[in-house]
């Protein structure tokens, strides 16, 4: 029957009693399976961590530009890690870093929530925010 129809005889369940076979176009079926897998993979969105580096003495306008970049990342669904780097005498005034993080959170309160509170590691202070 399969030869007459110009199709393939495919064994679907060889362990069943009796074995189950199907008459179908096997090449077309394989193509559709690959296509479905590709479409499912296309629909997936991987969340990446984007880093924005700041310094304690950064100017207000420069900080606003960096926050604008963070907003774009958050709109795309990415997490954003803010890193403040301290050098030399800046280590004595780490409260500036905490103040800067508070200002950033105030600006981003509509778009983001804090995923990891500000943490001090060596000469770096980091904070991670995620989209709401």
DSSP output for 53-101: EE-TT--HHHHHHHHHHHHHHHHTT-EEEEEEE--GGGGGGTHHHHHHH
* Residues spanned by the domain of 35: 2-43
Q: Are residues 85 and 31 in the same domain?
A: no
Cis peptide bond prior to 18, omega within 30° of 0? yes
In angstroms, the CA 126 to CA 78 distance is 16
Count of CB atoms situated within 10 Å of the CB of 14:
8
The pLDDT > 70 percentage for the chain reads 100
Do 64 and 114 lie in one domain? The reply is yes
How far is Cα 73 from Cα 67, in angstroms, rounded to an integer?
A: 10
* Residue 51 pLDDT: 95
- Quote the percentage of the chain above a pLDDT of 90: 66
Q: How far is the C-alpha of 55 from the C-alpha of 93, rounded, in Å?
A: 12
CATH number of 6's domain? 3.10.20.80
Could you tell me the maximum CA-CA distance found in the chain, to the nearest angstrom? 87
Q: Nearest-5° angle of CA 49, CA 132, CA 74?
A: 40
- pTM comes to 0.66
Same domain, yes or no: 111 and 57:
yes
* Tens-digit pLDDT profile for residues 41-77: 887 777 789 999 999 999 999 999 999 999 999 998 8
The count of domains in the chain is: 2
């Amino acid at each position: 029957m399969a030869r007459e129809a110009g199709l393939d005889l495919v064994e679907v369940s060889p362990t069943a009693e009796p074995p189950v076979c199907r008459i179908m176009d096997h090449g077309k079926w394989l193509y559709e399976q690959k296509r479905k897998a590709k479409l499912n993979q296309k629909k997936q969105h991987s969340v990446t961590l984007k880093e924005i580096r700041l310094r304690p003495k950064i100017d207000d306008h420069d900080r606003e530009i960096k926050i604008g970049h963070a907003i774009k990342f958050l709109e795309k669904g990415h997490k954003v890690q803010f890193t403040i780097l301290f050098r030399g005498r800046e280590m004595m005034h780490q409260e500036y870093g905490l103040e800067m993080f508070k200002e950033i959170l105030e600006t981003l309160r509509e778009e983001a929530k804090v995923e990891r509170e500000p943490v001090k590691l060596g000469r770096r202070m980091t904070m991670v925010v995620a989209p709401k």
